[in-house]
């Protein structure tokens, strides 16, 4: 059953309650390997389900447009102070509703429509909001896109420097959604300084690794840092923008009143809880275990003939090119889902297939690690994935069903925050 229990919801709306319970059990019964997903703690769940959702709080602590902010101001300030302490930054804004609005706020703060903005190309592992054409960021600004090298899948910093010198971007973004290697923040900072660009580190995927000391920090190199608060940070679905003191006012003004009204106070409380959890030695061990699991899984997949972009991983994320398997990412992702292994299909650098039917598969280890899995289980997961890919090429549903049963059996030994068996 869902934990915390939801008896009032069961009584008032059993149809919806059944769907919530179904999703909770589904999350328990499958290997959740989407790199951007995780499990929050029961404490975070409780914080986000409080009466804080009832309150409007436009403005910032001590400077609100609504009365009745005695406790809300303290909650938001607590989240701010914890973010500043955890990441070692001058200023933190915890109000953005999600990562995309956080990135939009940065554009609003530091660029004008039509200005050149520079980010990693989406097919190379960047994010929509880093200037891709279908995003407002690509439509309202002039995107300058850097790439990775064909030969090794790594970011081509020589190209980044040449493009920056030529295009003189107002904003440079380091980060993305499918980057399996350590981001060289000092190198990006050197280039940004040379051309006078504001360097933005988008650490949405790696924030928890940075907080736990398992990935180098952009603090001291990036002028602005954006991040979601879920993924490896293991908080609720929200976002933060962290800056130097110099840029604090511009960012705050861009978030409110520039883009948003009242913050979601229940989410702010959940962020405060997650930041407290992330400051503990246990979380540091967790962050390092995420990376250890990803490296072990990458090695096991390589042994089974999978072609990994960049040849492996330094963080939580693995990007697989399935071209040598003779099947696309979408049918493999769907077959794995039927086998109890939750992933997402993804483009790979220089992909010859279409974005909605790409060659790649993106996987990650944050949620597995939260459940308590270690390097010892990674070879078995690689074996299941290999068998599922083979089954997908043969329309072998029986094998997929068998794997799903084996996955459920293994996961029964690993508790999930948010669900437990009915007694």
Element (H, E) at 116: strand 116-120
> Is the predicted pLDDT of residue 423 greater than 90, yes or no?
no
Q: Is 319 annotated as a binding residue?
A: no
Q: Is 126 annotated as a binding residue?
A: yes
Which of 21, 76, 202, 223 is labelled catalytic? 202
For the segment 219-246, what is each residue's pLDDT rounded down to a tens digit? 999 999 999 999 999 999 999 999 999 9
Q: Does the active-site annotation cover 347? A: no
Write down the mean pLDDT value for the chain.
97
Both structure tokens of 98 = 């999600």
pLDDT at 211: 98
Please provide residue 405's backbone torsions phi and psi, each rounded to the nearest 5 degrees: -65, -40
Helix (H, G, I), strand (E, B) or coil at 59: strand
For the segment 319-344, what is each residue's pLDDT rounded down to a tens digit? 999 999 999 999 999 999 999 999 99
Q: Does the active-site annotation cover 249? A: no
Q: Which residues pair with 341 in a beta bridge?
A: 31
> Is the predicted pLDDT of residue 267 greater than 90, yes or no?
yes
Q: Is 246 annotated as a binding residue?
A: yes
Q: Does the active-site annotation cover 115? A: no
| Residue 347 half-sphere exposure toward CB, CA atoms < 13 A | 16
Distance CA 207, CA 239 (A): 11
Element (H, E) at 321: strand 317-321
User: Do residues 103 and 129 make contact, with C-beta atoms less than 8 angstroms apart?
Assistant: yes
Which of 237, 276, 285, 338 is labelled catalytic? 237
The one-character DSSP state at 79 is H
Domains of the chain: 47-278 (3.40.640.10), 290-411 (3.90.1150.10)
Task: State pTM to two decimals.
Answer: 0.97
Q: Does the active-site annotation cover 202? A: yes
> Is the predicted pLDDT of residue 141 greater than 80, yes or no?
yes
Local confidence band at 396 (pLDDT 50, 70, 90 cut-offs):
very high
Q: What is the mean pLDDT of residues 117-131?
A: 96
For the segment 277-311, what is each residue's pLDDT rounded down to a tens digit? 999 999 999 999 999 999 999 999 999 999 999 99
Local confidence band at 422 (pLDDT 50, 70, 90 cut-offs):
confident
Distance CA 255, CA 60 (A): 11
Which of 56, 60, 97, 350 is labelled catalytic? 56
For the segment 15-62, what is each residue's pLDDT rounded down to a tens digit? 999 999 999 999 999 999 999 999 999 999 999 999 999 999 999 999
The span from the first CA to the last CA of the chain, in angstroms, equals 9
For the segment 163-221, what is each residue's pLDDT rounded down to a tens digit? 999 999 999 999 999 999 999 999 999 999 999 999 999 999 999 999 999 999 999 99
Q: How large a percentage of the chain has pLDDT more than 90?
A: 99
Rg (CA), the chain: 22
User: Do residues 226 and 241 make contact, with C-beta atoms less than 8 angstroms apart?
Assistant: yes
Task: For the beta carbon of residue 140, count every other beta carbon within 10 angstroms.
Answer: 18
Which of 32, 170, 181, 231 is labelled catalytic? 231
pLDDT at 406: 98
Distance CA 110, CA 112 (A): 7
Q: Does the active-site annotation cover 231? A: yes
Q: Is 10 annotated as a binding residue?
A: no
Which of 58, 184, 190, 307 is labelled catalytic? 58
Which of 48, 129, 227, 228 is labelled catalytic? 228
Q: Does the active-site annotation cover 56? A: yes
């Amino acid at each position: 059953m869902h934990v915390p229990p939801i008896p009032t919801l069961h009584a008032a709306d059993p149809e919806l309650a059944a769907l919530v319970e179904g999703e909770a059990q589904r999350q328990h019964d499958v290997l959740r390997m989407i790199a951007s997903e995780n499990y929050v703690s029961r404490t975070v769940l409780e914080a986000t389900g409080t009466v804080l959702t009832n309150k409007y709080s436009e403005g910032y602590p001590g400077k609100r447009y609504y009365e009745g902010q005695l406790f809300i101001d303290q909650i938001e300030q607590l989240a701010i102070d914890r973010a500043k302490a955890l990441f070692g930054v001058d200023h933190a804004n915890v109000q953005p509703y999600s990562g995309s609005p956080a990135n939009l706020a940065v554009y609003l703060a530091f660029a004008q429509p039509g200005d050149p903005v520079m980010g990693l190309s989406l097919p190379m592992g960047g994010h929509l909001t880093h200037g891709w054409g279908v995003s407002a960021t690509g439509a309202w600004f002039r995107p300058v896109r850097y790439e990775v090298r064909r030969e090794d899948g790594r970011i081509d910093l020589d190209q980044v420097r040449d493009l920056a010198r030529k295009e003189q971007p107002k904003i440079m973004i380091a980060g993305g959604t499918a980057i399996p290697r350590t981001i060289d923040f000092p190198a990006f900072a050197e280039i940004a300084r040379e051309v006078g660009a504001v360097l933005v580190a988008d650490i949405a995927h790696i924030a928890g690794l940075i907080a736990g000391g398992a990935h180098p920090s952009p603090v001291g190199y990036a002028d602005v840092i954006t991040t979601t608060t879920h993924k490896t940070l293991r908080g609720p679905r929200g976002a933060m923008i962290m800056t130097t003191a110099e840029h604090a006012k511009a960012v705050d003004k861009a978030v409110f009143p520039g883009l948003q009204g009242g913050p979601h106070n229940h989410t702010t409380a959940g962020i405060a809880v997650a930041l407290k959890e992330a400051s503990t030695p246990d979380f540091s061990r967790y962050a390092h275990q995420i990376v250890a699991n990803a490296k072990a899984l990458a090695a096991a997949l390589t042994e089974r003939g999978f072609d990994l972009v960049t040849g492996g991983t330094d963080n939580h994320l693995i990007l697989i090119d399935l071209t040598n398997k003779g099947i696309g990412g979408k049918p493999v992702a769907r077959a794995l889902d039927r086998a109890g292994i939750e992933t997402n299909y993804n483009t790979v650098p220089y992909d010859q297939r279409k974005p909605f039917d790409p060659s790649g598969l993106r996987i990650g280890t944050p949620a597995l690690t939260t459940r308590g899995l270690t390097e010892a289980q990674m070879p078995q997961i690689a074996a299941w994935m290999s068998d599922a890919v083979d089954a997908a090429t043969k329309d072998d549903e029986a094998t997929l069903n068998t794997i799903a049963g084996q996955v459920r059996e293994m996961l029964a030994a690993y508790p999930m925050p948010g669900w437990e068996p009915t007694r």
